[in-house]
């Protein structure tokens, strides 16, 4: 079968969340990493099966859980009935359509808010909040002071909060400049 780029893209977009959830369930960083690598290789080779198109994220996480069970079996250790039940029943419930709609509306509002920022504010906000870069690195990247990064970040957060109707939470105090 050919690779379904959207399925692989969805897996990569949710990689950190899947890994975190697997780590919590499997209680092992190494095992979670192994399972995520094996799942990636399988997703890379698969196209979306019929009947799974409505909940692809759940399908991908279920695949990762199945890979964890396969990994246990391949290590010569059989899962107990309780472990199998825990893995199978630990999958998150299907997201309600109203939750999906609200999330889509939030994303649209955030997109409008980001469009209202200056280019530098948008780049600083994304570097600080998405890439989690320290403000000193952001300052060096833009050729400005760390204090100016803080000001631009504050303006960007306030603008986004106003346009999305949300409250802005900022990190102040000791260590606030180390990471943003």
Q: How many domains does the chain have?
A: 2
Mean pLDDT of the chain: 78
Return the closest-CA partner of residue 32 out of 13, 18, 52. Answer: 18
Q: Do 13 and 37 lie in a common domain? A: yes
Confidence band for 155, pLDDT divided at 50, 70 and 90: very high
Residue 41 has pLDDT above 80, yes or no: yes
pLDDT at 170: 56
Predicted pLDDT of residue 70? 76
User: Is 75 a domain residue?
Assistant: yes
**The most confident of 49-53, 66-70, 151-155, 176-180, by mean pLDDT:** 151-155
Mean pLDDT of 2-13: 72
Residues 114 and 67 in one domain: no
The string of pLDDT tens digits covering residues 98-133 is 777 888 888 888 888 889 999 999 999 999 888 889
Residue 2: band (very low, low, confident or very high) from pLDDT cuts 50, 70, 90: very low
One domain, residues 137 and 156: yes
The answer on 147 and 121 residing in a single domain is yes
Residue 178 lies in a domain: no
Q: Domain check: are 101 and 85 in the same one?
A: no
Same domain flag for 115 and 42: no
Q: b/e per residue, 152-174, with b = 16+ CB within 10 A?
A: bbeebbebbeebbeeeeeeeeee
- Note whether 114 and 143 are same-domain residues: yes
Structure confidence at residue 161 as a pLDDT band (50, 70, 90): confident
Residue 90 has pLDDT above 80, yes or no: no
Continuous H helices in the chain: 5-13, 15-26, 29-45, 56-74, 81-89, 97-115, 119-129, 135-142, 146-164
* Crossing angle (nearest 10°) for helices 15-26 and 5-13: 60
**Residue 83 and residue 118 share a domain:** no
CATH number at residue 120: 1.10.10.10
Global pTM? 0.43
Q: Are residues 42 and 70 in the same domain?
A: yes
Closest CA to 180 of 148, 149, 141, 144: 149
């Amino acid at each position: 079968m050919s690779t379904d780029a959207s399925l692989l893209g969805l897996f990569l977009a949710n990689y950190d969340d899947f890994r975190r959830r697997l780590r919590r369930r499997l209680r092992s960083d190494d095992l979670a990493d192994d399972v995520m690598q094996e799942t990636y290789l399988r997703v890379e080779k698969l196209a979306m099966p019929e009947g799974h198109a409505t909940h692809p994220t759940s399908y991908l996480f279920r695949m990762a859980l199945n890979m964890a069970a396969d990994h246990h079996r391949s290590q010569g250790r059989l899962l107990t009935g309780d472990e199998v039940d825990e893995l199978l029943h630990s999958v998150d419930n299907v997201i309600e359509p109203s939750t999906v709609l609200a999330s889509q509306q939030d994303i649209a509002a955030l997109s409008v808010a980001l469009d209202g920022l200056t280019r530098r504010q948008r780049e600083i906000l994304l570097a600080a909040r998405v890439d989690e870069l320290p403000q000193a690195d952001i300052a060096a990247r833009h050729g400005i002071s760390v204090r100016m990064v803080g000001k631009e970040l504050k303006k960007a957060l306030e603008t986004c909060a106003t346009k999305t109707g949300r409250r802005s939470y900022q990190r102040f105090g000791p260590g606030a400049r180390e990471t943003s």
